[in-house]
A = this chain, B = another copy of it.
Amino acid sequence: MSKTEYQGQAGELRARLVQAQYRLKDADFAAIIVIAGNDNFGRNDLIHVLHEWMDPRFLETRSFGHPTDEEKERPPFWRYWRALPPKGRIGIFYGSWVRRPLMDRIDGLIDDAALDDAIREINNFEKLLVDDGTLLFKFWLHLSEEELGKRLEAVRGDPQTASQVSRRDVDLLEGYDRALAVYERFVGGTSTAEAPWMIVDGSHAGTRNLTIGRTVLDALRRRLDAGQTPPCTPSADSAAEPSTAPKMSGEGRGLLDALDLTQTLPKGEYQKRLERYQAKLHGLGQTAFEQGLTSILLFEGWDASGKGGAIRRIARTLDPRDYRMIAIAAPNDEERARHYLWRFWRHIPPRGRIRLFDRSWYGRVLVERVEGFAAEHEWRRAYKEIRDFEEQLVRHGILLLKFWLHIDPQEQLRRFRQRERTPFKQHKMSEEDYRNRRKWDAYEAAAEEMVRRTGTDAAPWHLIEANDKRHARVKVLRIYCQELERRLA
């Protein structure tokens, strides 16, 4: 292809890409372009070209080097979550979630089994993005051994670029076969139906650029033409999802309606235990901070089931520097423009800190399900997404405790009436509370399924009989103390 020919084609492509970007701006999805491969130098050039071809105002390029300490203190994917582009934008990612496991395997720091674990995590993450409507491109820029050798020589030969050749580049050429085997395992493992790799021959820059530009353009247009309807994957995977056995703590042996709500704790005994556990928690909280044990406690349950009161009894004992309360209400527009889990990833605390969630990501399978804010295929796939999310937290060493505070409809009504009579609680009441009450059965079914599908060994649900507030508060405190003790032992 002659230079003129290339420029002609590039000019046309550029105009169309910018047009597509302007249509994307108002669309309900984001695009992500992952660039990887063994052609580091071509990659930089490609990114420049993409920046020139597209309107940089709607384009974000994110590269990832060594994690910062704020990143190191969170699960590995936190840094990628925080960099996700909002709907309407294109994000170019490189040195991304792809790089670390590849390099670690090539360097022999991890074995094949660990690489396969990483592949599984990547596939989960990418599936989640694609399910959410993200248009995901994965380009693998590849050079044969011969081409890679030529490329290194050329870069080295130019005084302007010579310094860019690192020891690592040379190693990768010398150990070409070994690296290739890792690439093949990795690319094969992460080429899924949802997010296949496109292998691009890196040896001809012009062809490479045009191929990639056209692929992006075509897919963008196809999606834009298809309208705003999200990719309604008939939830084969979620329908087929095996029913996981419920995990419950303490007394409760059945599901929600099997809980013994008659349990009470007399006031005198309550005061005694409350003080005992609070004193204990105070000390454990300090130790946890010193040892860098992070806690995330989330509270779900009926309106007026006493979530706030239970949270306050815990918070009271902690150093205010160490904890933060996160009350989950409607998402704001930065949050709405991304995957529903994004707003929770934002709140993952640094090492040794505590977050107390008053409602949580489970809203997806509770209120969003019941009120129809999420489509059925959306809340159905959320069970697995949530399990994956929580698994990441737990694997990072975070103590994750999930509490469901259970009351019966009569108790709720009693509390609503009482709130209406208590000056500093009146504001908590609205017509909506009564409206939600009328959907008790739907909410109960959702809660039952949630407990069944998301109670895992790593992150079991703690079901709390909460008709008696004193019983509930002490039980929550006791469980948190026990779990801290177990972990700090």
A interface residues (Cβ-Cβ under 8 A, vs B): 11, 14-19, 22, 44, 47-48, 51-52, 55-61, 63, 65, 68-70, 92, 94-95, 160, 163, 279, 282-283, 286, 308, 311-312, 315-316, 319-321, 324-325, 327, 329, 332-334, 350, 358, 422-425, 427
Known: A69-B69, A333-B333. 19 other contacts (CB 8 A): A11-B424, A18-B425, A19-B423, A19-B424, A48-B315, A51-B315, A52-B316, A56-B308, A56-B312, A58-B327, A59-B325, A63-B320, A68-B68, A68-B70, A68-B350, A94-B320, A332-B333, A333-B334, A334-B334
* A and B contact pairs by CB, cutoff 8 A, 9 listed: A47-B320, A48-B315, A48-B320, A51-B320, A56-B325, A56-B327, A57-B329, A60-B324, A68-B69
Q: Is the interface of A mostly helix, strand, loop or mixed?
A: helix
Distance to closest chain B CB from A34 (angstroms) = 14
Residue pair A52, B424 in contact (C-beta under 8 Å): no
Distance to closest chain B CB from A161 (angstroms) = 9
Residue from the set A16, A283, A320 with the largest chain B CB neighbour count within 10 Å: A320
Instruction: Give A25's nearest chain B residue, CB to CB.
Output: B427
Residue pair B56, A311 in contact (C-beta under 8 Å): yes
Residues of B within 8 A of A358 (CB): 56-57
Residue pair B283, A160 in contact (C-beta under 8 Å): yes
Partner of A15 from B17, B65, B319, B424 at Cβ < 8 Å: B424
Instruction: Give A23's nearest chain B residue, CB to CB.
Output: B427
Residues of B within 8 A of A68 (CB): 68-70, 350
Residues of B within 8 A of A15 (CB): 422-424
Residue pair A332, B334 in contact (C-beta under 8 Å): yes
Residue from the set A55, A308, A334, A424 with the largest chain B CB neighbour count within 10 Å: A424
Instruction: Give A14's nearest chain B residue, CB to CB.
Output: B424
Residue pair A48, B316 in contact (C-beta under 8 Å): yes
Question: Once bound together, how far apart are the Cα atoms of A111 and B57, in whole Å?
Answer: 46
Partner of A57 from B47, B48, B163, B325 at Cβ < 8 Å: B325
Residues of B within 8 A of A427 (CB): 18-19, 22, 55
Residue from the set A16, A57, A94 with the largest chain B CB neighbour count within 10 Å: A57
Known A57-B327, A69-B69, A320-B63; contact A312-B51, beta-carbon cutoff 8 A: yes
Residues of B within 8 A of A425 (CB): 18
Residue pair B316, A44 in contact (C-beta under 8 Å): no
Question: Once bound together, how far apart are the Cα atoms of A318 and B446, in whole Å?
Answer: 52
